[in-house]
Amino acid sequence: MLKVAIYGKGGIGKSTVTSNLAAAFATMGKKVIQIGCDPKADSTMNLLGGEPLRPVMNYMREEDEEPEKLEDIAKEGFGNVLCIETGGPTPGLGCAGRGIIATFQLLEDLKLFETYKPDVVLYDVLGDVVCGGFAAPIREDYAEKVLIVTSGEKMALYAADNISKAVKNFEDRSYARVFGIVLNHRNVENENEKVETFAKEHGFDIVGEIPRSDEIIRYEDQGKTVIEGNLESDISKCFYDLAEILWKDEEQV
C-alpha cells in the first residue's frame, strides 16, 4: 500500500496536488483514499463536483456521538476515490491537531484500511503548523512518504523548512521520510533556482513540477480536477508523471 502525506503552506496548492494525484491514480486503476487533514475541510471538493463533504469533527459535534459506519463520514468521488475530511473544532475553540488525532483513532475503530483495502492513501496536511496533531500522519505510521509542496515564495519555503525539520525529528523511529519536493510554480523571480537551492541544501529531490496554469483554475471553478477535466492535457501529464514516480518507488520496496 502506497501511503503519502502531502504537506505545504496554506494556500500553496497542496489540495490541488493531492486531489489531482488521487484522480491520476484512480484513472490508473488504483483504489484510492484521500484524507483531508485541514480544518478548512476543502481537500476533496474537486473530487466531489465542488460539493463540500461533512467533516468527521462536524459529525461528532453535531450528532454528539461517533459515527457507527464508514458511510456516515466518507463519500466516493471521481474515479471512486474515497473521500474523508477530518475538519476541526468550532473556530476559536479547541485544537485542530487533536481533531486529526481523534479522527485517525476513529478510522482505526471503523477498520477503514482493512475494510476498503486501498492501493493508495493520500493525506493532505496543513504545513503552517507542525504540532503533534498535524504531525500525526508521519509519526503514527499512517504515511511512509512525505511530499512537500512549495513555490519559490519566501513564506512557502519557510514552511517547507519547518516541515522538513518536523519530519527529521522522527527519522530515527522508522516513521515517514521526505520523498521529495513538488514545485508548484507561482512564477516568482528566480523561482527554479530558489527551490533547487532549497532542495540541494536539504538533500531532497524535486520529484514533480506543476506549471502555473489557468487550466487548473478553470476546472476547479467547475468543481473538477484537471485530470477529470482533460486527462490528455500537459498539466495532467505532470500529475501522472508524479504518480508514476511514486508508484514505481513503492513497487521497488
In the prediction, which pLDDT does 96 show? 66
Exactly one of 9, 145, 194, 224 is catalytic; name it. Answer: 9
Q: Report how many domains make up the chain.
A: 1
Partnered with residue 3 across adjacent β-strands are: 121
Q: Is 168 a catalytic residue?
A: no
Exactly one of 30, 40, 42, 141 is catalytic; name it. Answer: 40
Residue 104 phi/psi, 5-degree rounding, is: -60, -40
In the prediction, which pLDDT does 20 show? 98
Exactly one of 128, 161, 241, 249 is catalytic; name it. Answer: 128
Burial 225-249 (b: 16+ CB within 10 A, else e): bbbbbeeebebbebbbebbeebbee
In the prediction, which pLDDT does 148 show? 97
Q: Is 9 a catalytic residue?
A: yes
pLDDT in tens, 4-43: 999 999 899 999 999 999 999 999 999 999 999 988 889 9
Q: Is 237 a catalytic residue?
A: no
Residue 228 phi/psi, 5-degree rounding, is: -70, -40
Gap between the Cα atoms of 226 and 154, Å rounded: 27
In the prediction, which pLDDT does 137 show? 84
Q: Is 249 a catalytic residue?
A: no
Longest dimension (CA), the chain: 52
Low-confidence ranges of the chain (pLDDT < 50): none
Exactly one of 14, 145, 194, 224 is catalytic; name it. Answer: 14
CATH of the domain at 13: 3.40.50.300
Domain of 16 in residue numbering reads as 2-252
CA distances from 152 to 11, 199, 210 (A): 13, 11, 12
Instruction: Check if the beta carbon of residue 97 is closer than 8 Å to that of residue 133.
Output: yes
Question: Percentage of the chain with pLDDT > 90?
Answer: 72
